[in-house]
């Protein structure tokens, strides 16, 4: 689902959001160069897979945090993890590098990608993510994001990262 389709989907669900269109950005350093509201809500998204390419995970964390994949693996009972390839990203989520977002789970037709959200966001009024491309940022309530991803059928876990 592209940016417009994603907005239409959110509108149909009655999910309230704030949106800002901007130049394409590919990483958090580039995001910091754009003066967007609510920097405390910035999220970074990592698309990872296990060593057998059987299980894929979308990790959404506070933008200034780093994830130790070994520690994540130990704490969440996964196999050894590494970053998924751009081909995997395109095939599984229909996204390009730099555009990874939990909203990409709308493109996971088999609903098999597990979504892990940093527990930091469960205490925040909003989370900022891309809109299935890297030329817009959307802010919505983390609980609304969790609820609609669960409704899609994807496994969702809120964990400390």
- Supply 91's token pair: 């095939």
Neighbours of 159 (CB within 10 A): 14
pLDDT in tens, 31-71: 788 888 899 999 999 999 999 999 999 999 999 999 999 99
Say yes or no to pLDDT of 27 above 80: no
- Supply 47's token pair: 């698309």
- Supply 7's token pair: 């907005």
CB 36 within 8 A of CB 22: yes
Say yes or no to pLDDT of 28 above 80: no
Q: What are phi and psi of 43, to 5 degrees?
A: -120, 145
pLDDT in tens, 68-87: 999 999 999 999 999 999 99
Here the CATH number for the domain that contains residue 58 is 3.90.960.10
pLDDT in tens, 102-128: 999 999 999 999 999 999 999 999 999
Higher-scoring residue by pLDDT: 16, 32: 16
Rg of the chain on CA atoms, in Å: 15
Considering its fold, how many domains does the chain have in total?
Answer: 1
- Supply 38's token pair: 């609510």
CB 61 within 8 A of CB 43: yes
Q: Which domain holds residue 130?
A: 3-159
């Amino acid at each position: 689902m592209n940016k417009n389709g994603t907005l239409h989907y959110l509108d149909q669900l009655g999910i309230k959001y704030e949106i800002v269109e901007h130049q394409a950005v590919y990483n958090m350093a580039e995001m910091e160069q754009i003066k967007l509201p609510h920097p405390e809500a910035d999220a970074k998204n990592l698309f990872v897979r296990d060593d057998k390419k059987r299980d894929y995970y979308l990790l959404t964390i506070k933008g200034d945090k780093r994830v130790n994949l070994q520690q994540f693996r130990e704490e969440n009972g996964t196999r050894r993890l590494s970053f998924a390839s751009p081909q995997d990203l395109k095939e599984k989520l229909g996204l390009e590098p730099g555009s990874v977002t939990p909203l990409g789970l709308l493109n996971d037709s088999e609903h098999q990608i597990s979504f892990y959200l940093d527990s930091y966001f469960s205490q925040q009024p909003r989370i900022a993510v891309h809109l299935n491309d890297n030329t817009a940022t959307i802010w919505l309530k983390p609980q609304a994001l969790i609820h609609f991803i669960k409704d899609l059928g994807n496994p969702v876990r809120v964990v400390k990262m």
